[in-house]
Structure formats: C-alpha cells, structure tokens
Amino acid sequence: MPSIKIQTKFLNSFFPANQLESNLKKSLAARELLDSKSGKGSEFLGWVNLPKSISKSEIEKVLQVSKQIKSSSEYLVVIGIGGSYLGARAIIEANINSFSNFQRSGSPKIIYAGHHIDSDYHKELLDFLEDKDFSVNVISKSGTTTEPALAFRSILSLVERKYGKSKLNERIFATTDKAKGALKKLADEFGLTSFVILDDVGGRFSVLTPVGLLPISAAGINIEEFISGAVEMQNFIESTKNPEKNLSLYYASLRNTLYQSGKKIELLVNYNPKLQYFTEWWKQLFGESEGKEKKGIFPAGVNFTTDLHSMGQYIQDGLREIFETVIRVESANQNLDVKEFPGDPDGLNYISGKNLSYINSKAIEGTLLAHYEGGVPNIEILIPKLNPATLGELVYFFEYACGVSGYMLGVNPFDQPGVEDYKNNMFALLGKKGFEEMKKTVEAKLNSLGKS
Ligand code: PA5
C-alpha cells in the first residue's frame, strides 16, 4: 500500500455530488485509453510501466557512473532544461539539507546549467568552475535544444582545456536519444558514456529514467528507494479499480470537477521549502500536458507560510477562480521547541514548549479553513514524511493522474506543439538557416508593434 492519502473535507459544497460521480466514470474511460494505448499521443506511454520496467543493469550502470562522479568531482554540472532537468532537481532539493549547501557528504554539489540563456549566470558559472574539480551530465533527448546546447558548448571547451581531450570521457556523461541527434553524435565521437532516453518517454515523464536517476544518485540519494516508492504506487494504481479509491483517478476527477465549476487555476501548496522545485516539476507536468486547444487548468505554485505574506491576500480575497492542492508532510522534525522568553515581549509565551512542527500544523489547518471559507476549495495530499520512497510514490501518482486528467479534458497530454512558436521566432531573428523568409516577417511584426 502506498503511504499517500487524499483528504477532501475542504471541498464540501463546491460542486454537486453527481458532477463528481460523472467525472469518476469519465476517469475510468480515460484510464482505459491509457492502459489500452488507444488515446491521443499513445506513442509516448513508455512511462506508464517505467517504475517496474527499469532494468537491473540500467540501475547498476547509473550507480557505477555516479560512484565515478563522486570519486572524481566536487561538483556535477547538470545541463538540461524542462523535462530534462526539473525532475532531478525536484527530487534532489527535496532530499538534501538546505544548510549543507545542498550537498551530501561524499557527494558532489549539483549545479544546473542550460536551463536558461542568461549570460551573467553562465559566465559566472564558467569562472567559478575554472579551479574546481567537476564532471558534467548533459541531458537532451533531441540533442538540439538551444539552451542546453549553448551551455554545453562552453562547458565542453572548459573541460577540454582543463582536463585535456583524452579525458573528456572521464568527465562528461551524456543522456540522450539512442540513435539520433547532435548529442548522440558528439557522445560517439568523444567516446562518452551515454544513457538512453527511450523514444516512448517524453521529457516531463522521464524522471524515472537516467534523465533523473543519474543526477539524483550522484547527489547521494538512494535511487533504489525512489524507484521502489514509484513501483508501490504503480502496483496500487494498477490494482485499484474503484476510481474513488484509486488515488490518481480520484485526484484527476476532483480537479476536473473543480475546473468545470469555474476553478481554472490550481495552486500546488507546500509548507516545506524543500518542495519548491517539486512544485516546478509539477507545474511543467500539468501545464505542458493540459494547456492546449484554449483550455486546461493553469498550474501555479506557492510556498507557505512564506507566500501567505505575499500571495495570501489574493488567495483569500481575489478572483474566485482558484483551487489549492496542498501537500502536507505529516511528520516534520519534532526536535525544535519554542523557548520561554522572559517578560514575553513578543507575546508568544502562550506557545512556549510547543514544537515548531505542531505550530506549522496549526498554521496549515487555520489556512485551509480560511481559504475554504473564502471560496477556495482545497484538496489535501498527505504524505507521512519526505524521503526518496514517498517522493517516488508522489511522482508516479501525479504522472498517472496527469495522463488521466489530460484525456478527461480531451487533449493529447503527451505533446507540446505550442512550445515551438517562440523557438521559431527566435531562430528567425537569429538568422538560422531555413528561416530567412520568416526573419523578414518576424522583424516586420516586431517593428510594427514598436511603432504603435
Ligand atoms: O517535457 C518535454 O518534452 C520538454 O520539457 C523537454 O524535456 C525540453 O524541451 C528539453 O528537451 P530535450 O530533452 O530534447 O533537450
């Protein structure tokens, strides 16, 4: 049995019961599309069976390479963007002590590159790495994505200068397509150890492949526990036919019911800053999968109680189009009690002796009730604690829910055609071969906008 639970007491009265009933039925039909591989985008369903299908030899290879990286490097530069980066960062940051500089002893600190094109960041990174021992994991399924490809160019030349061409294969590890793409070509040319991204697994569903597993393992996190959590959830989802009991089907049904009731924005809420990048991963998963054909819930995220002091006003009192999905970690650290303060200058002695995690739990309950009464429904996702296994459960739970939810919405959850538009304009403006005609059009459009 997985350890995650869903609670819905802060949803009462936001929609009629029969509307949820009808969506629960629809979730079964959507599930059937996933399982029979007969829905839109069915050529990208390799992730459905991933937890159970990862081979022992693949895990061994990841462990062996991460051992090599640990023994040679103070830093591991992970180059990738979107689905080729967010999953690893989500799991790493959720498992690492924030005050050990996001680093586990005996493991390199993970640094990210190629997840944007900011020149300050990348120049500072290159200067920083000059006198450090580092390895590189360059991750790109297509091998042609501009942001990581640009970062890789400059970091490759630094590695070559620092360690010599003959040592490239000791320092650079590629995760890419098995046969095609620029990165595959480079990996072959330099004899790099490479990991394969399967054809039928899209970027945002790839954290349980070497895309996520190598950086996570190099960061010192137990990937076998992470995978076993995902397997646990896969087994549960597969064997639970009742959609109300099936966590992913239930969540997909709830969020679609809320969407149909006018709640167009979903906020993923955490009360633990380590989950900030998990939220980023979740935003991509749902945003890129569902935001199509002028429909889809807009996925956003907030970190509480921090953001209660910035976004709290809007959530409580602004446009009533929001619902929240709250990840509650049930057993946070119990070892920090509030001290008695002589004279009680800040008025907090009434909670002296109480544990900080108890106080956080009261902040959660108070917020849930306030938002509920203010017209914001809340779905609660309870997880007993934050560790690789529970995160594995959470990852598969959300992935499966996303597939089901996208089919319930009637879109293809596994493509991302809209991402090409900015790329094409950028290629045209940069003068890429084949975009000559488009360059004139794009420049003319920009100029005409500039005049008005
Ligand atoms: O989920 C996706 O498909 C995207 O976010 C891609 O992962 C992202 O664009 C990076 O692509 P690639 O791995 O080809 O560099």
Based on the fold, state whether residues 373 and 332 are members of the same structural domain.
yes
Q: Identify the H or E element spanning 113.
A: strand 109-113
Nearest-angstrom CA–CA distance, 277 and 386: 14
Give the per-residue pLDDT at 334: 80
CATH number at residue 138: 3.40.50.10490
Identify whether 44 is part of a domain. no
Identify whether 152 is part of a domain. yes
Instruction: Give residue 328 CA to ligand 1 midpoint distance, Å.
Output: 30
Identify whether 333 is part of a domain. yes
Based on the fold, state whether residues 401 and 279 are members of the same structural domain.
yes
Kind of pairing between the strands at 322-329 and 298-303 = unpaired
Phi first, then psi: give them for residue 331, nearest 5 degrees: -120, 85
Give the per-residue pLDDT at 451: 65
Give the per-residue pLDDT at 316: 98
Q: Which of 198, 221, 244 is the last residue of a domain?
A: 221
Based on the fold, state whether residues 204 and 132 are members of the same structural domain.
yes
For residue 109, give the 3-state DSSP assignment: strand
Give the per-residue pLDDT at 249: 98
Give the per-residue pLDDT at 105: 82
Instruction: Provide the residue range defining the domain that includes 445.
Output: 419-451
Give the per-residue pLDDT at 405: 98
Among 47, 86, 145, residue to substitute to test ligand 1 (most atoms within 8 Å of Cβ): 145
Based on the fold, state whether residues 264 and 371 are members of the same structural domain.
yes
Burial class of 347 by CB neighbour count within 10 A (0 to 12, 13 to 18, 19+): exposed
Q: Is the CB of 145 under 6 A from ligand 1?
A: yes
Based on the fold, state whether residues 282 and 394 are members of the same structural domain.
yes
Structure tokens at 229: 């959590």
Terminal Cα-to-Cα distance of the chain (whole angstroms): 61
Q: How many domains does the chain have?
A: 3
Based on the fold, state whether residues 131 and 169 are members of the same structural domain.
yes
Identify whether 414 is part of a domain. no
Identify whether 217 is part of a domain. yes
Instruction: Give residue 451 CA to ligand 1 midpoint distance, Å.
Output: 36
Based on the fold, state whether residues 206 and 259 are members of the same structural domain.
no
CA 143, 194, 232: angle at the middle one, nearest 5?
100
Query: Which residue, 306, 304, 268, is CA-closest to 284?
Result: 268
Based on the fold, state whether residues 195 and 82 are members of the same structural domain.
yes
Q: Is the CB of 388 under 6 A from ligand 1?
A: no
Per-residue pLDDT of the chain (452 residues; tens, 9 = 90+): 999 999 999 999 999 999 999 999 999 999 999 999 999 999 999 999 999 999 999 999 999 999 999 999 999 999 999 999 999 999 999 998 777 766 788 899 999 999 999 999 999 999 999 999 999 999 999 888 999 999 999 999 999 999 999 999 999 999 999 888 889 998 999 999 999 999 999 999 999 999 999 999 999 999 999 999 999 999 999 999 999 999 999 999 999 999 999 999 999 999 999 999 999 999 999 999 999 999 999 999 999 999 999 999 999 999 999 999 999 998 877 889 999 999 999 999 999 999 999 999 999 999 999 999 999 999 999 999 999 999 999 999 999 999 999 999 999 999 999 998 999 999 999 999 999 999 999 999 999 997 66
Identify whether 108 is part of a domain. yes
Q: Which of 182, 201, 221 is the last residue of a domain?
A: 221
Q: Is the CB of 378 under 6 A from ligand 1?
A: no
Q: Which of 165, 194, 221 is the last residue of a domain?
A: 221
Give the per-residue pLDDT at 161: 96
Based on the fold, state whether residues 203 and 248 are members of the same structural domain.
no
User: Going by CA atoms, what residue is nearest to atom 8 of ligand 1?
Assistant: 82
Identify whether 60 is part of a domain. yes
Among 43, 47, 84, 197, residue to substitute to test ligand 1 (most atoms within 8 Å of Cβ): 84
Query: Could you tell me which residues are beta bridge partners of residue 120?
Result: none
Catalytic residues: 288, 309, 423
Identify whether 149 is part of a domain. yes
Based on the fold, state whether residues 294 and 174 are members of the same structural domain.
no
Based on the fold, state whether residues 309 and 368 are members of the same structural domain.
yes
Based on the fold, state whether residues 360 and 216 are members of the same structural domain.
no
Q: Which residues contact 347 (CB under 8 A, 6 or more apart)?
A: none
Atom index in ligand 1 nearest the CA of residue 85 equals 7
